[in-house]
Amino acid sequence: MTGMGRRLVLAVGAVVLVVLGLGIGYLAPAHPELALGAAAAVLMLGITAAEPAAIPLVAFPLLVVVYRVEAAGVDLSLSDVVLALATLTALVFAPRPFHPALRNLLWLNAAYQFATLFTVLVNPYQANVVEWFHAWMLVSGALIVGWTVGRQGFARSALTLFLLACLAIAAVTVVQAAAQWARGDFGPVYVSWPYAMHKNFVGTLLGFAAVVVYARPGWLGWTQGWARSALALFAVAMLFTQSRQAIIALGVALVIVAFRDRRQRQRWSLVLLGVVPALALVATLVRDQVQSGNQFNSVFQRLNWFGDTVEVWAASPWVGQGLRFWTTGRTAVAFQPPNAELEVLASAGVIGLAAFLLLMVGTLRQLWRLAPAYGTLGVAAVASRLVQSQLDLFWITIQVSVPFALVGVAIGALARDELAASPWQTASGTRPGAAPVAAGGRIAA
Q: What pLDDT, in 10s, does the model give residues 394-424?
A: 998 899 999 999 999 999 999 999 988 876 5
Q: Is residue 155 part of a domain?
A: yes
Residues found in the chain = 445
Q: What is the pLDDT of residues 290-349, one digit of tens each?
A: 555 655 546 557 668 888 899 999 999 999 999 999 998 888 788 899 899 999 999 999
96-113: b or e for each residue (b if 16 or more CB lie within 10 Å)?
eebbebbebbbebbebbb
Task: Write phi, then psi, for 306 (nearest 5 degrees).
Answer: -60, -45
Mean pLDDT of 163-170: 97
Return d(Cα 434, Cα 374) in angstroms, integer: 14
Answer yes or no: are the C-beta atoms of 409 and 147 closer than 8 Å: yes
Please count the structural domains in the chain. 1
**How large a percentage of the chain has pLDDT more than 90?**
58
pLDDT of residue 260: 83
Please give the mean pLDDT across all residues of the chain. Answer: 83
Instruction: State the amino acid at position 310 in one-letter form.
Output: V
Does any domain span residue 106?
yes
| For residue 368, pLDDT beyond 50 | yes
Strands (E) located in 18-84: 68-71, 74-77
Q: How far is Cα of residue 386 from the mean position of the Cα atoms in its chain?
A: 12
Is 5 contained in some domain? no
Indicate whether 113 belongs to any domain.
yes
For residue 355, being part of any structural domain is answered with yes
Residue 279 and residue 248 in contact, taking contact as beta carbons nearer than 8 Å: yes
Does residue 59 surpass a pLDDT of 60?
yes
**Quick one: which H or E segment has residue 181?**
helix 155-182
Question: Would you say residue 357 lies in a domain?
Answer: yes
CA distance 35 to 19: 13
In angstroms, the CA 284 to CA 250 distance is 17
Is residue 122 domain-resident? yes
Could you tell me the residue range of the domain that residue 271 belongs to? Answer: 50-428
- 104 occurs within a structural domain: yes
Q: Specify the pairing of strand 74-77 against strand 68-71.
A: antiparallel
Choice between 184 and 444, residue whose per-residue pLDDT is larger: 184
